[in-house]
Structure 1
Amino acid sequence: MDKWLRSTWFIRILSLFLAILMWASVSSDNTSNPESSFLNGNSTDKEIVENVPVDIRLDSEELVVSGVPQVANVTLEGPTSQVAPVALQQNFSLYVELNELGAGTHEVPIQHSGISSQIQVTTEPETVEVTVERRISQSFQPSVEFLNESELGEEWEVGEPEIEPSSVEVIGAASVLSQVAVVKSMVNLEGVDSSIEARETPVKVYDEEGNELNVIVDPSTVSIDIPVARSQKDVPVTFQAEGEIAEGASVTSITSDVEQVTIYGPQEVLGDINQISGVEVETDGLSETTKKQVEIELPEGVSDVEPETAEVQIEITND
């Protein structure tokens, strides 16, 4: 044995045998251990990227398309070193190519760009049914819908709105325009305490069921003026003496520069008031002509009056 250990050839043969054993061991581990395959760059991966936008490739401005989903899901399969960065960065795009198609209904695939050929790509859905139609336009007069009108309070009145421009062009497919039921702008009246002037408001288009239609509106906004004011009414006012005047004196007249006042309140209340009569003027103990400031009392249901006071002249004569 000592003689073999001293032999150069014996040591070389033994080293070769040990090297073969080690190679066989490592090869076996690589076959059974996926992590070893990953380290060697031979692993595969599968990733699902959801809600990827789908573009429409159509150069003609005379055509309009319906049926293309806004987003699709993408499954990526291939080498981990390729799939992982693509799934993470999402630096690719999905599209449907429609430039070679004419008017009508077509089944077209969802295609992709920006993904390596080493990656297998599957989209969900894989194909879509699209309808290509001629683009048409039609004029409509937009209306105005008031939101939160009840928040104004009972004494406020909203007048007839004025819209500029008075008509807009609705552009889209003929099949979609045939569904147009309402073209309107919505104005929120919550917190409004004065007239609305030149408010820019988007124009929306709806079908009979209240679904917003996918069309182009030109112009997309309109300018709206809406008169908003408190309900008011001008009524005459009269005055009467209240109290015992001095002995031997008498009230011949009570006059004022204020002959009528403006009252504010709910319209149904104002409709029943035609005058404010008998505003009391204190004359107790007076013996000569006198001027006084008199407060004008509010009739029931009235929220305000202008002016709130009036100067009166009490004409008194003595026997």
Structure 2
Amino acid sequence: MDKLLKSNWFVKIIAFLLALMLYTVLSMETQEQSDRQSLFNSVSKTSETVSGVAITPYFDENKYVLTDLPRSVDVKLTGSSNLMTKALKVDRRMEVYIDLTKMGPGTKKVPVKIRNVPENLKAVPLPREVEVTLHRKQTKQIPILVDIKNKNKLPEGYETGKLSYSPRSVYVTGPEDYIGDIASVRASVDVSNAKDKLESRLPLRAYDSQGNLLDVLIDPKSVNVTVPISKPSKTVPLTLDEKGSLPDGLTLAGITMNPQEVTLTGPSSALDKVSEVSGVNVDLDKIKEDSTIDVDVPLPEGTESVNPKQVQVKVDVENDIKTKTFKDIPIDMRGDTPEQQASFISPPNGTMDVTITGSKKAVDALAASDISAYVDVSNLESGEHTVSIKVSNSKNLQMKKEFTTAKIKIEAIQSSTDSDQQTDQSTSESGDNNGDSGNEGNTTGKPNDNQAFTQSKAEGKTESITEGEN
């Protein structure tokens, strides 16, 4: 063994083997380190695309309005995952923006920029450019229009009243060319199935003449709207009708009714036809002494309700009876129009006698002016007509009319042409310059139509406002 250890060849072989083993070990460690470094680099450095990052524009907002700007872009990030996490979830300072501070009105492609990105993290916007337009800014005051929708869907019998809203106008700000295209700023209120007053705050929209919505700023953005919803109503007077007669030995001293008016509800088309409610009947055959009775109020055709449904009628009677005849009571014409000329055929003078029966005290206190007689000529066409004469007195005493009907002639008054009007005006001016000349210019010597109509009015045919009929 000693000889072997002292042999040069043996020592060389041993040294070679040791060197070989050392090389192998070192080579393996280097490869492992290389593999680990490669794996570390592949794990720590990566790419990620963040979608929908908002763009912040910078421009002079006092002078310009920006349009066509995309809502957002994508951003591609490259770097270590630690840096990405820091940028997106910790710092959150990364900003995507465009700089238009040196740009004037017009359309231009501008670069998309990114700032506040951590060092060693690469950020690239996708796309790198966007096309935008700057417009000169304009503000204009415009009145508001409010539309009422679905009136035909209101409950039966209900109608809308006068619409009110506030404010009446707004300030609209936007691109100069947009402001010039605005045809209206309006809101719509839907009244479907409404039975009570509607009060709401509605958003406002700006539209062009074609009805297209315009993207502008409206200040204020909404309008307060009030729409009254109700059934139409109308208050009209009551007319008392006397039926039968008092027993022998009694006379009617007077009849009073409380209230003397009622309120009707229903469609406007029906209410327009009602000027008074008649048919409040008092049966005098059943009256033996002073009495107060409740009488039903009839509902006129087409109307829906009447309030109150009953009225109190007070009947006063006396034993001291007196009869008095009032001569030549003028018969008024009601319902005539400037386009018509109405005249009496019979009675020819448009007057008649009225005989009043009642207590001596009441009859003595009655004057001719307390008696009202009239005929209704509304809606009568040209020609001759027989109409009823209605008479009332302030004391509601029993009356006997000389005539129950009158014969009326209706004539249409022809409209003058513009030329005739100018001629009449010229003639009138000439007459004014030469003094009043009566019927000057009427070569026939007969009163013209207007004179005849005026004369008819002067003869007692003016409209009476006395209420109550018999």
Superposed displacement of residue 238, structure 1: 3.2
Query: 2:197·2:227 contact (CA, 8 Å) conserved in 1?
Result: no
Task: For CA contacts below 8 A with separation 6 or more, give which structure has more relative contact order.
Answer: 1
Q: Distance in 1 between matches of 2:62 and 2:102?
A: 14
Amino acid at match of 1:176: Y
Where in structure 2 are the equivalents of 1:1-319 lying within 5 Å?
21=28, 24=31, 28=35, 37=40, 41-50=43-52, 52-87=53-88, 91-147=93-149, 149-150=151-152, 152-153=154-155, 154-161=157-164, 163-164=166-167, 166-189=168-191, 191=194, 193-194=196-197, 202-221=203-222, 229-240=230-241, 255-279=256-280, 287-314=288-315
Query: For residues 241 and 200 of structure 1, do their structure 2 counterparts lie closer, same or farther at Cα, with a shift above 3 Å needed?
Result: same
Query: For residues 71 and 151 of structure 1, do their structure 2 counterparts lie closer, same or farther at Cα, with a shift above 3 Å needed?
Result: farther
Query: For residues 111 and 137 of structure 1, do their structure 2 counterparts lie closer, same or farther at Cα, with a shift above 3 Å needed?
Result: same
Superposed displacement of residue 100, structure 1: 1.0
Query: 1:106·1:129 contact (CA, 8 Å) conserved in 2?
Result: yes
Q: Distance in 2 between matches of 1:61 and 1:249?
A: 97
Q: Could you tell which deviates more after superposition, 304-313 or 214-223? A: 214-223
Q: Distance in 1 between matches of 2:284 and 2:119?
A: 105
Query: 2:154·2:191 contact (CA, 8 Å) conserved in 1?
Result: yes
Measured against aligned partners, the alpha-carbon deviations of 1:201-249 in whole angstroms (never above 9, x if no partner) come to: 554312234343222334545565656554222223235578x999879
Q: Secondary structure at the match of 1:82?
A: helix
Query: For residues 192 and 26 of structure 1, do their structure 2 counterparts lie closer, same or farther at Cα, with a shift above 3 Å needed?
Result: farther
Q: Distance in 2 between matches of 1:227 and 1:260?
A: 25
Amino acid at match of 2:272: G
Query: 2:203·2:222 contact (CA, 8 Å) conserved in 1?
Result: yes
Question: What is the number of equivalent residue pairs in this alignment?
Answer: 302
Superposed displacement of residue 57, structure 1: 0.5
Amino acid at match of 1:274: S
Measured against aligned partners, the alpha-carbon deviations of 1:51-70 in whole angstroms (never above 9, x if no partner) come to: x3322211351222222123
Query: 1:195·1:229 contact (CA, 8 Å) conserved in 2?
Result: no
Q: Distance in 2 between matches of 1:292 and 1:73?
A: 90
Query: For residues 66 and 163 of structure 1, do their structure 2 counterparts lie closer, same or farther at Cα, with a shift above 3 Å needed?
Result: same
Query: 2:159·2:229 contact (CA, 8 Å) conserved in 1?
Result: yes
Query: For residues 172 and 46 of structure 1, do their structure 2 counterparts lie closer, same or farther at Cα, with a shift above 3 Å needed?
Result: same
Give 1 or 2 for the bigger CA radius of gyration: 2
Please report the TM-score for the alignment, with normalisation by the length of structure 2.
0.52
Q: Which has the higher helix share?
A: 2
Query: 1:48·1:87 contact (CA, 8 Å) conserved in 2?
Result: no
Measured against aligned partners, the alpha-carbon deviations of 1:273-307 in whole angstroms (never above 9, x if no partner) come to: 33332145688966433223344354454344333
Query: 2:196·2:228 contact (CA, 8 Å) conserved in 1?
Result: no
Measured against aligned partners, the alpha-carbon deviations of 1:161-198 in whole angstroms (never above 9, x if no partner) come to: 3554x4433222222112212112444546572385xx
Q: Distance in 2 between matches of 1:126 and 1:13?
A: 58
Measured against aligned partners, the alpha-carbon deviations of 1:122-142 in whole angstroms (never above 9, x if no partner) come to: 444432222222222333222
Q: Distance in 1 between matches of 2:264 and 2:245?
A: 32
Q: Distance in 2 between matches of 1:80 and 1:250?
A: 117
Q: Could you tell which deviates more after superposition, 80-89 or 10-19? A: 10-19
Superposed displacement of residue 200, structure 1: 5.9
Q: Secondary structure at the match of 2:44?
A: coil
Q: Secondary structure at the match of 2:181?
A: coil
Identity of aligned residues (%): 23
Q: Distance in 2 between matches of 1:74 and 1:311?
A: 88
Q: Could you tell which deviates more after superposition, 187-196 or 93-102? A: 187-196
1:4 maps to: none
Query: For residues 295 and 15 of structure 1, do their structure 2 counterparts lie closer, same or farther at Cα, with a shift above 3 Å needed?
Result: farther
Measured against aligned partners, the alpha-carbon deviations of 1:17-68 in whole angstroms (never above 9, x if no partner) come to: 567546646755875xxxx548x85241323322x33222113512222221
Query: 2:246·2:285 contact (CA, 8 Å) conserved in 1?
Result: yes
Query: 2:296·2:310 contact (CA, 8 Å) conserved in 1?
Result: yes
Q: Distance in 1 between matches of 2:117 and 2:284?
A: 99
